[in-house]
Amino acid sequence: MTGDDPIALQDKLFGEIARVLRPGAALVASDSLASAELAAHHEGDTYNPVDPASLPDRLAAAGFERIDVRTNPFGWAVIAHRGFVNVT
């Protein structure tokens, strides 16, 4: 998938997760915050960190509701619930 827009691929993934979850089910995810140290560690492979500030809008667009994003100095976590409206 080299050359594909990582944000678009992540958004497609969020949409697919929403599609397969039952209405009301929760997505729970976490990751490290972007850093030069992690970028260096991933040199030569794929490193596409997710900006936690972008998650509420992106997950809502995918069909999630009640989105709670939390961060600390090292990472982020999100709990988001699949809405009760059909997601395609």
Provide the whole-model pTM: 0.85
Domains and CATH numbers, the chain: 6-82 (3.40.50.150)
Tokens 């678009």 correspond to 8
Rg for the chain, CA atoms, rounded:
14
Bridge partners of residue 78, in order along the sequence: 29, 69
| Ordered per-residue pLDDT tens for the chain, 88 residues | 345 788 999 999 999 999 999 999 999 999 999 888 888 888 888 888 899 999 999 999 999 999 999 999 999 999 999 988 665 5
CB-based contact 50:31 (threshold 8 Å): yes
